[in-house]
Structure formats: C-alpha cells, structure tokens
Chain A
Amino acid sequence: MSRIDEAFADGPAFIPYLAVGDPDYESSKAYVEALARGGADVIELGLPFSEPVAEGPTIQGAVTRALDAGMTPDRYFEFVEELDVDVPLVCMTYYNLIYQYTAGDDRREGPRPFVERAAEAGIEGFVVPDLPAEEADPLREACDDHGLDLVFIVAPTTEGDRLDRIMERVSGYVYVQARLGVTGARGDVSGQTDEALARLTEWDVPKAVGFGIKTGEHAERIVAGGADGIIVGSALVDIVAEGHEANRPVDEVAADLEAKARELAEGAAAGYAQRVPEPERT
C-alpha cells in the first residue's frame, strides 16, 4: 500500500494544491506547511509551466508569479526536499517539463530522469493534465519502477473505452473533474460530479473530486455524495494572491491558509459522517 493509498484509508482525504514558488520560494514553503497543519492528507504541489492550458486565470496567475520569481524544476525538487511536512506529496505539472528534464550529465530522454529525481526528492505521485492515458505508458512504466503513483483526471465527458483505458493505468487516486472547463473556484458545485462518481462506482481506486470547490460546505456535500476525497486549488491560491497584492506578512497569510484548510478538511469529515449508516434499531 503506497502512502497515498494510506491517506485514503481512514475517511476522506483533503488534497490542497498550491503552485510552488508562488509568490516566492520562502513564502511558498510557509504556505505549504500551513496546509499540512490545517489537515491536508495529500498535497498537490504545482511545478509551474509556461503554458498551463488546463488552468483558469487564478492558477495561471500563480504560475506566472512563480516563474517570474525564478522557479525551475531543480529549484522545485530542492523545495520538496526542504519541506517540513509529513503527508504524501504529488507533483502536478505539464508533460513538456517531465519530458525535457535532464539531471546533470544525464542526457537520457524523458520521462525517466524526471521520475528518478522526483522519487529521490520525496514525491510520491504525479498528475499531468495534458497527458491522456493514450500517451502515458512511458511515464507509467517509469513510475512503476520507482513505486510512484500516477493519477489521471476523469472529466464529465469521459465515457466508454476512455474510462477503461484510464482505469488500466491509474493508481493512487482518480481526479474527478467536477465540471467542464478549466480550474477555478466557483460559488456552486456542479451536478456533473454526481454523474461522474456514478460512472466510477466499480473502480477500486479512491475518487477525489476537484474543480470549483471553495468552502467547507462544498466539501461536505461532495463527500456526502460519495467522493473519497476533495481537491482544492484556486480557493487557496486566491488567498496567496490576495495576500501578495496587499503585501501582507507571510505568517498572516499562512494562518489564513491553515484556517481555510481546516474548514475544508472538517467539511469533508462532516460529509463522511453522513455516509456512515445509522445502526439498525432493534
């Protein structure tokens, strides 16, 4: 059982996302550690790519700030090594960075050098939004050799043969995209989630729902509806962005992130409690 599997073993997993290096290296470290204190079970750490086509404006802004502040794949791995957290870490990035990565004199073509370096740094899995199952075998094989999980996204439009292809390759958890479009916090949580979860009931892998989750109440509703976990990015990145724009002290922003993380984790737990069946009365 991988550490990511273990994170889902006792109730729902709260999986926050932040772009590493947003708005700068040291602040970003404080923010990620705050999420762990707030109850994160797994953390998705975004490695910024210049063309984040699956992201909405919030995360694109984070990626741009991080790149402007000098984030690179090597700095990213140093960041992961320096982090003081005790939860499994998942690297979320785009395929070109994985494919291009070469470590030192190692000029082998990707994705193997990237996976080796990530494993050495302490990464336990990957989410690669622009790598569909059809193109993923080289990465899947490299992950298998290093005991890393490869998470795939299932969209509201994913049906039929595509589900089978993803199920054959996914491990850790499946990222259930709650609605069409790109990432971004929303005021409601789409009914597309329920349909997506219904399509995956036979899958023996945890189902974590993302896209649009903003509040503890959203988290509660989604977990009560059958999700094994929730993924939250933009609502947290918004806190980082607003803190950066207002030039607030890092520890204040970190405290806000911790509080938001707690709200979301507690919401997920409350949703899970509703799913535990009442004992039958005699």
Chain B
Amino acid sequence: MSTSKFGEYGGQYVPEALMPAVEELTDAYERYVRGNEDGFMDEFRRRLRDFGGRPTPLQRAEQLSARYDSEVYLKREDLVHGGAHKLNNALGQVLLAKYMGKERIVAETGAGQHGTATAMAAAHLGMPCEVYMGERDINRQRPNVFRMRLNGTEVTPVTAGRGTLKEAINETMRDWATNVEDTHYVIGSIVGPHPFPRMVRDFQSVISEEAREQVRERAGRLPDSVVACAGGGSNTMGVFHEFVGDADVDLYAVEAGGSSLDVDEEAGVAPNSASLSTGDEGVLHGARTKLLQDSDGQVMESHSVSSGLDYAGVGPELAHLVDEGRVTPATVDDDAALEAFHRLSQEEGIIPALETAHAFAFAHEHPDELGDVTVINVSGRGDKDLESVIEESAERDLDAAPDMDAFAGGGL
C-alpha cells in the first residue's frame, strides 16, 4: 500500500463527505494503476498510443544546441493529442473512473489545457463532463473554452476571488462533495489529497520513461540536467520521475516569478506563482505542501502571465524533493518568459505554451548550469496563448518579439 505522505507533505485534508470517495479512489489506484487489475494499465497504454499519439519524439534542438554549445533535447509533449502533456493524466483518470463505475466527470482548469484534455478524454470514453474555470481565465483562454464545448463538455464560470485556478479548484471540490456518489473529480496536477499526487505522477511518468530511454539512445548517456516549468507540477514530476534515482542528473523546476518575487501582504497578493521558491508549508486543497500565504495562513492570490502556472500551491512530492535537495527550484519572470516564447518560435519553429516558455527562459539565463546534455520538457504548445501573448507583448519592449503593432490589425 503506498503511503499518503512525501516526508511531511501530502496527506488527506478534505471534508468528511469526500473521505469515503478518497478512500474508494485510493483502493482503485492500488488495484488498477499499481496492480494492473483487469489489464487497466495495458488499456491505458494502448489508448495513450492510439488516441494520444505516444510516444512523443525527443528532438535535438539545433539552434539551442549551437547557442549553448551543448546538446539540448526537447521532449515534445506539445505533440500529444490536444497539444499538451495534460492528456496523459486526463485519459488515465477518466478511464479509471469508468473502471470504478462512475457516471460523471468534473474537472477544474486554469489555462484550459487540462480542461481540454479532460473534455477530449471524456468524449473519447463516452462520459458526461463538466469543467469549472475562473472567469478571468475564460477571458484569457477562449480557444480552449471553445474546444471543450466542441467536445460536449459544459464549461462553468467561477466568479469568486480573482477568478483563476485556485477558485476553480474550490468550486470543483464543492461539486464533488455534492455528487460524490456517482462523480469522479479529475484533478489536473500532482496536487490534492492522496492518492491524487501519486496517481497523477504515475500517469505522467510516461514522459520520463520515454525521455530516459530516448536520450540514452540519442546521446549515448543520461543527461546532465532536466528542465521543466512548474505550476502545480504535473509535467515537472512527469519528466523528472524516472530520473530521480539518477543522482548525477540535475533536476530544475522553473516557477513563474511573475512581475516580482516580493509580496504585498496587506493586499494578500503575491505577484508571482513561485511556491517552491518562496512559499511556506501549509495545507491547501487536500494536502500539506508549500504554498503562498500570508503570516496568518490566508492563501494569497498568485500571478503569472501564464494562466497554467498561476496557482498558489504546488505538488507535495515536488515540495519534498526540493527540501531534500534533489530538485532545484528556480524562477523566471513574465518578461523573460515572453522573450523566450518569441525566441523559440523563431529559432526552432516551435510555438511553446507560455508555461513551457519559462523553462526555456531558465535555460537561456543559466546555460552554464545545464551541463553537456540537457532535456527540456516542452509541456504544451502555445496556440492557446496567442491572444494573451499579443496583448502582453504589446505592453512591453521585448527584444525577441516581432513588430507587435502589426498584430493590432494594421500591418498584416
């Protein structure tokens, strides 16, 4: 039986009405995911391959390799069906819900990628689905909202607080508490009560299983470093997991430094989403973890130019690995992420998600820390971010950006 804790982190801090559901899910996780009962994992792998498009390539980035005078490989999760690593987890959980006999799926989403992946998985497996999304995020991520609706999912706006991921999670937990008997909550990251952090990591660890084998094949050795962006942390743990035991491989979790690492305690706002780098231990959304909070323990509003990283907490396993010194946290600010977004688009022909752009910005700022062989996880593609990139880039003086006035409609 897997423990619910990672050191001091993790656990199950949820309302009593949800505890039986969490226990039922723990049992299902042990049987189907860890025990492959009824061939669950075989079916999951088959569907990941046929529906999801796995394995994804490990591509050598020629321009970046030349620039940094090292071998830089890109794990192309942007090529998974739906355009992000999120499908690995969503497909796993919706399939598990079916094995458990559940009849309805609920999920929350920030950037919309998890909502989109869940909507696709639910349509693929014939399950009705409702996704909660902050009103502010709905406005920032309209293409994904439309995609979810095309897949037959109901998208419900959440207006509480700042209308971002934190509030959407609260609302989804309320729905789950009300409909727990026939509904499964597909949590979108390695957060929440046990078994979610372990289960989501297991579904995502296909990324590092493939990457580890691919990099040995391509470079003839393990990498010196693996770099991934970290919001909740699912792509991060996904690409780290199989390397955690390789002590010589440095693991960098790159968080959103937003506009500043300082906090406005009075206003209860952290203008960043860097909970691994600057957060304190606390309890949020079912788990003990590192989070952005004021001195009283009230959870702060976070910020990032990337909706997908805009969350005040982080997965408990990542918090533990940071405390253990196994994972190195780093931050990249909004401007650097936008620069990296444009640079990668131009130099490699890959339009990355704004989340992913944080990982590339870190590589750009710290080339000497990467070593001779690096794997960067391209967690998702950036189509969903085009509107906010145009808007945010126009407000800034970015070296790598094209003439943003042209995007206003005049010069195209």
Do these two chains really belong together in a complex?
Answer: yes
Of A5-13, A149-157, A217-225, the stretch lying at the interface with chain B is A149-157
Contact call B285/A53, Cβ cutoff below 8 A? yes
In angstroms, Cα B16 to Cα A157, docked, is 8
Return A72 CB to nearest CB of chain B, in Å.
5
B360-380 CB mask vs A (1 if < 8 Å, else 0) is 000000000000000000000
Contact call A100/B178, Cβ cutoff below 8 A? no
Q: Does B298 contact A (CB under 8 A)?
A: yes
Contact call A96/B283, Cβ cutoff below 8 A? yes
Of A14-22, A23-31, A175-183, the stretch lying at the interface with chain B is A175-183
Return A99 CB to nearest CB of chain B, in Å.
6
Contact call B298/A132, Cβ cutoff below 8 A? no
Contact call B20/A99, Cβ cutoff below 8 A? no
Q: Does B125 contact A (CB under 8 A)?
A: no
- The A interface, classified by DSSP as helix, strand, loop or mixed, is loop
Contact call B298/A182, Cβ cutoff below 8 A? no
Contact call B177/A181, Cβ cutoff below 8 A? yes
Contact call B12/A100, Cβ cutoff below 8 A? no
In angstroms, Cα B16 to Cα A152, docked, is 9
Q: Does A243 contact B (CB under 8 A)?
A: no
| A residues in contact with B161, CB < 8 Å | 50
Of B34-42, B79-87, B166-174, B196-204, the stretch lying at the interface with chain A is B166-174
| B residues in contact with A177, CB < 8 Å | 16-17
| B residues in contact with A52, CB < 8 Å | 170
In angstroms, Cα B181 to Cα A159, docked, is 13
Return B283 CB to nearest CB of chain A, in Å.
4
| A residues in contact with B20, CB < 8 Å | 155, 157-159, 162
Q: From known contacts A95-B283, A96-B299, A100-B293, infer whether A180 and B180 are also in contact, taking CB-CB under 8 Å.
A: yes
Q: Does B53 contact A (CB under 8 A)?
A: no
In angstroms, Cα B160 to Cα A50, docked, is 11
Contact of A135 among B11, B21, B177 (CB under 8 A): B11
Contact call A157/B174, Cβ cutoff below 8 A? no
Contact of B21 among A97, A156, A157, A166 (CB under 8 A): A157
Contact call A100/B282, Cβ cutoff below 8 A? yes
| A residues in contact with B280, CB < 8 Å | 100
Contact call A129/B174, Cβ cutoff below 8 A? no
A185-207 CB mask vs B (1 if < 8 Å, else 0) is 00000000000000000000000
| A residues in contact with B15, CB < 8 Å | 53-54, 129-130, 153, 155
In angstroms, Cα B14 to Cα A162, docked, is 14
In angstroms, Cα B166 to Cα A159, docked, is 31
A30-73 CB mask vs B (1 if < 8 Å, else 0) is 00000000000000000001111110100010001001000011
Return B297 CB to nearest CB of chain A, in Å.
3
Q: Does B296 contact A (CB under 8 A)?
A: yes
Contact call B17/A96, Cβ cutoff below 8 A? no
Contact call B297/A99, Cβ cutoff below 8 A? yes
Contact call A73/B296, Cβ cutoff below 8 A? yes
Q: Does A101 contact B (CB under 8 A)?
A: yes
Contact call B177/A96, Cβ cutoff below 8 A? no
| B residues in contact with A60, CB < 8 Å | 160
Q: Most chain-B Cβ atoms within 10 A of its Cβ — which of A56, A97, A130, A154?
A: A130
Q: Which parts of A125-157 form the interface with B (CB within 8 Å)?
A: 129-132, 134-135, 152-157
Contact call A155/B282, Cβ cutoff below 8 A? no
In angstroms, Cα B15 to Cα A152, docked, is 10
Report how many residues on chain A are interfacial, defined by Cβ distance under 8 Å.
40
In angstroms, Cα B299 to Cα A74, docked, is 17
Contact of B14 among A97, A132, A158 (CB under 8 A): A132
Contact of B282 among A56, A73, A99, A132 (CB under 8 A): A99
Return B130 CB to nearest CB of chain A, in Å.
15
Q: Most chain-B Cβ atoms within 10 A of its Cβ — which of A53, A158, A182?
A: A53
Q: Which parts of A92-107 form the interface with B (CB within 8 Å)?
A: 94-97, 99-101
Return B265 CB to nearest CB of chain A, in Å.
11
Return A132 CB to nearest CB of chain B, in Å.
5
Q: Does B157 contact A (CB under 8 A)?
A: no
B232-254 CB mask vs A (1 if < 8 Å, else 0) is 00000000000000000000000
User: Which residue of chain A has its CB nearest to the CB of B15?
Assistant: A54
In angstroms, Cα B178 to Cα A277, docked, is 37
Contact call A157/B181, Cβ cutoff below 8 A? yes
User: Which residue of chain B has its CB nearest to the CB of A157?
Assistant: B20
Q: Does B55 contact A (CB under 8 A)?
A: no
| A residues in contact with B299, CB < 8 Å | 50-51, 96
Contact call A50/B298, Cβ cutoff below 8 A? yes
Q: Does B146 contact A (CB under 8 A)?
A: no
In angstroms, Cα B193 to Cα A130, docked, is 11
In angstroms, Cα B296 to Cα A177, docked, is 29
Q: Does B51 contact A (CB under 8 A)?
A: no
Contact call B181/A96, Cβ cutoff below 8 A? no
| A residues in contact with B6, CB < 8 Å | none
Return B25 CB to nearest CB of chain A, in Å.
13
Contact of A96 among B11, B19, B170, B297 (CB under 8 A): B297
In angstroms, Cα B15 to Cα A49, docked, is 14
| A residues in contact with B173, CB < 8 Å | 53
Cβ contacts A to B, 18 pairs, < 8 Å: A49-B298, A53-B170, A53-B174, A64-B160, A72-B296, A97-B298, A130-B15, A130-B283, A153-B15, A158-B16, A158-B19, A158-B20, A159-B20, A162-B19, A166-B16, A177-B16, A177-B17, A182-B177
Which A residues form the contact surface with B (CB < 8 A)? 49-54, 56, 60, 64, 67, 72-74, 94-97, 99-101, 129-132, 134-135, 152-159, 162, 166, 177, 180-182
Not counting A94-B283, A132-B12, a sample of 7 additional A-B residue pairs whose C-beta atoms are within 8 angstroms of each other reads A50-B298, A53-B177, A54-B177, A96-B284, A157-B19, A157-B21, A157-B181
